[in-house]
């Protein structure tokens, strides 16, 4: 299993060439000050996922998790999202209104693995589930599929325990393949696709979803010796 951390090493990403009012600079510095809390939340969740994956290796002779990716949003991304959604630009507002400052993507081999890992993770006593959005059973109109969990996890600090929100996306290798390429295309041409491109993307997503189901059935046959 591969663990990839996409946390930007330069917390002032893309800010060096821009001039901001002093008040905004102070706001950015306040975001930087709490970044470690979100990094800690990611470490807590990733450790739990790695422990589950290791247990499967020794008890089931397989690893359901293929890869784990994580990232903490940069101050610029947080500020832009707050402005876009019409929220106050402050650390308190970000922590109250944004669920994805800390983001973790879990890539599994099979569809059943997604729900197994999700169930095992959220059944742990110190994980508080805020919201579950199932884009596998109910795909987005463009064909996007993934299971999204919004959770709170305890982070142990010198001043005490703080519960921090994080978004966990769990998907198969095939789902991640489609989502990654769709994201690249959207970056180039924007989200307002021409109708023919949108239709083709949806068709590709449906083919990939069908392949996922067929691979799950093959695995089940092999596992059950049939």
15, burial (CB in 10 Å: exposed 0-12, middle 13-18, buried 19+): middle
Residue 208 CB neighbour total at 10 angstroms? 19
**What are the CA-CA distances from residue 125 to residues 114, 121, 152 (Å)?**
20, 9, 11
pLDDT in tens, the chain (226 residues): 766 665 444 444 454 445 456 666 677 777 777 788 999 999 999 999 999 999 999 998 899 999 999 999 988 888 889 999 999 988 899 999 999 999 999 999 999 999 999 999 999 999 999 999 999 999 999 999 999 999 999 998 888 898 999 999 999 999 999 999 998 888 777 767 788 888 999 999 999 999 999 999 999 999 888 6
Q: Note the pLDDT of residue 2.
A: 61
Distance CA 64, CA 172 (A): 10
Distance CA 87, CA 156 (A): 28
Please give the domain boundaries of the chain with CATH numbers for all domains: 2-173 (3.30.460.10)
129 with 151: CB under 8 angstroms?
A: yes
Of 133, 146, 148, 149, the residue nearest 209 (C-alpha): 146
List, by residue number, the catalytic residues.
167
Distance CA 110, CA 47 (A): 21
Radius of gyration of the chain (CA): 19
Q: What is the pLDDT of residues 165-209, one digit of tens each?
A: 999 999 999 999 999 999 888 877 776 778 888 899 999 999 999
Distance CA 91, CA 38 (A): 12
The label of the residue with tokens 């990733």 reads 46
Tokens encoding 167: 């978004």
45 with 103: CB under 8 angstroms?
A: no
Distance CA 28, CA 80 (A): 12
Distance CA 126, CA 122 (A): 9
The label of the residue with tokens 């650390």 reads 91
Tokens encoding 221: 């046959």
């Amino acid at each position: 299993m591969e663990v990839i951390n996409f946390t930007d090493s330069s917390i002032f990403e893309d800010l060096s060439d821009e001039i901001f009012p002093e008040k905004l600079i102070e706001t950015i510095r306040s975001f930087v000050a709490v970044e470690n809390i979100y990094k800690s939340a990611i470490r807590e969740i990733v450790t739990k996922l790695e422990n589950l994956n290791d247990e499967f290796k020794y008890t089931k002779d397989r690893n359901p998790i293929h890869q784990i990716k994580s990232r903490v949003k940069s101050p610029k991304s947080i500020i832009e999202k707050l402005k876009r959604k019409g929220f106050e630009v402050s650390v308190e507002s970000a922590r109250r209104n944004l669920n994805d400052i800390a983001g973790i993507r879990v890539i599994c081999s099979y569809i059943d693995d997604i729900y197994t890992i999700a169930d095992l993770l959220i059944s742990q006593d110190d994980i508080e589930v805020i919201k579950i959005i199932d884009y596998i059973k109910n795909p987005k109109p463009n064909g996007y599929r993934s299971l999204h969990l919004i959770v709170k996890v305890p982070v142990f600090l010198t001043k005490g325990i703080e519960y921090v929100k994080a978004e966990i996306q769990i998907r198969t290798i095939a789902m991640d393949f489609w989502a990654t390429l769709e994201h690249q295309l959207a970056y180039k041409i924007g989200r307002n696709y021409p109708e023919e491109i949108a239709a083709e993307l949806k068709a590709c997503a449906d083919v990939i979803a069908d392949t996922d189901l067929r691979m799950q059935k093959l695995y089940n046959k092999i596992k059950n010796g049939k």
